[in-house]
Structure 1
């Protein structure tokens, strides 16, 4: 009986040991990877086709300080000029990507991702919608995007490139 109890105790301890997963270790500078880009076409109120692109990127951050701090007011100059989700847009011109500037920026701010005030690793997926307004790019234009994110400590991630997508078809 004692022997059975000892075997069960050791088995339980072994299962318990292997079921605990250690906390991952990520660098405090965010790292992102491209996950996907999808397109949804709808008619606007004037009967024009409008493309909405949703870009998803995976992220990892060692100290979890991603997203706009609640102390940063939406009407502050810093909030309006320093974006934590930075997007550059490219068109294919004669087979080569050429960066285009737009009157409406695709960059912006995403909210704080961790609300428990703990410091530690965080990972997940950020998805952001980008609208392609009629007349802003030619019909059947091929676009791609380069994206990077910034944490509250102003650490800037690597820059990723999306796959190409045809818009205004």
Structure 2
């Protein structure tokens, strides 16, 4: 009886060790890296009233990996102002940069939009232990149809940075057609 108990105990220990050894924490660099995963456009119908014109909603999805998990900032945290000031002093952009390029006269020309000047995404590890992380980020932007618009083939370039100001690689989206006011 005691021998069977010891065998069962050893079996449980061996299974537990085997299962725990199956997961190894990823070994990513501390500088974030990103990859383009997709761009989706859908048209929202016009509603009643001012500012409710027909508009295209664009969602851009990127994948990310980061070795120390220090991506994002929390708006309601004591470090928010310090993070924002540090971002402003180092390139004057937040932790998410998106650049818009329209195809005009047979070449892509950057279109600057103040809405994209200082983009921030939330702390991705708030309340969790430090360590490597990976996942995806979705960015949504609206392009309204005004009274006089022109459709342009448009693409975006994106990069992110962590709280240590390590910048990721730059990824470029596919091209889609979007409305811009003339």
Query: What is residue 156 of structure 1 aligned with on the other side?
Result: 167
1:116 paired to 2:124: no
Cα separation, partners in 2 of 1:67 and 1:103, compared to 1, 3 Å:
closer
Indicate which of 143, 147, 154 corresponds to 2:158.
Answer: 147
Question: C-alpha separation between the residues in 1 aligned to 2:35 and 2:166?
Answer: 16
Give the equivalent residue in structure 1 for 2:65.
60
Q: Which has the larger displacement, 17-26 or 98-107?
A: 98-107
Q: 1:73 is paired with a residue of what secondary structure?
A: helix
Deviates more, 1:84-93 or 1:47-56: 47-56
Give the whole-Å Cα distance in 2 for the aligned partners of 1:13 and 1:92. Answer: 63
Q: CA deviation at 1:13?
A: 4.9
Count of aligned residue pairs for this structure pair: 166
Asked if the contact 2:64–2:137 (Cα under 8 Å) also holds between the matched residues in 1, the reply is yes
Verify: 1:51 aligned to 2:62, yes or no: no
Q: Confirm or deny: 8 A CA contact 1:73 1:79 kept in the other structure.
A: no
Deviates more, 1:107-116 or 1:53-62: 107-116
Flag structure 2 segments of 5+ consecutive residues without an equivalent: none
Counterpart secondary structure, 1:139: strand
Write the distance in 2 (CA, Å) between the matches of 1:78 and 1:121.
Answer: 23
Higher helix fraction: Structure 1 or Structure 2?
2
| Mapped partners of 2:58, 2:117: distance in 1 | 11
**What TM-score comes out, normalization by structure 1 length?**
0.80
- The equivalent residue for 2:115 is 104
Q: CA deviation at 1:145?
A: 0.4
Deviation at 1:101, TM superposition (A): 1.9
TM-score when normalising by structure 2? 0.75
Larger CA deviation: 96-105 vs 113-122 = 96-105
- 1:41 is displaced (CA, Å) by 1.3
Match of 2:100 among 80, 89, 102: 89
Q: Provide closer, same or farther for how the CA distance between residues 109 and 103 of structure 1 changes in structure 2, counting only shifts above 3 A.
A: closer
Map of 1:165 onto structure 2: 176
Which blocks of at least 5 consecutive residues in structure 1 are unaligned? none
